[in-house]
Amino acid sequence: MRSEIHPEYRTVAFQDTSEGTTFLIPSTAETAETTLVDGVEYPLVKVEVSSASHPFFTGKMQIIDTAGRVERFERRYGKGRKKGSE
């Protein structure tokens, strides 16, 4: 394999921002941030949902609205629009 065309494969820390847990997984993800895990510095990738916070794996329902989807929907389609006002 040609070394100059393949991304670097290394251990990366993935942090679930909603739960606060950190997973160490081999990856080629590029990141500028780093974090210390057990005294070793790893590149850090922040994710919003992982197996630690996803309702399928936890068995509890959480509403995560990080992008303002509800507000954008209400702005676009009107909050409390009455029937026949179209």
For residue 85, the Cα-to-chain-centroid distance in whole angstroms is 40
Helices (H), 1-86: 55-58, 69-77
The answer to whether 59 and 28 are in contact (CB under 8 A) is no
| pLDDT digit string, tens, across residues 3-60 | 788 888 899 998 888 778 888 999 998 889 989 889 999 999 888 777 666 655 566 6
CA–CA separation, 14 vs 22, rounded Å? 6
Its pTM surpasses 0.75: no
CA–CA separation, 28 vs 40, rounded Å? 18
Which amino acid appears at position 2 of this protein? R
The whole-number pLDDT of residue 79 equals 67
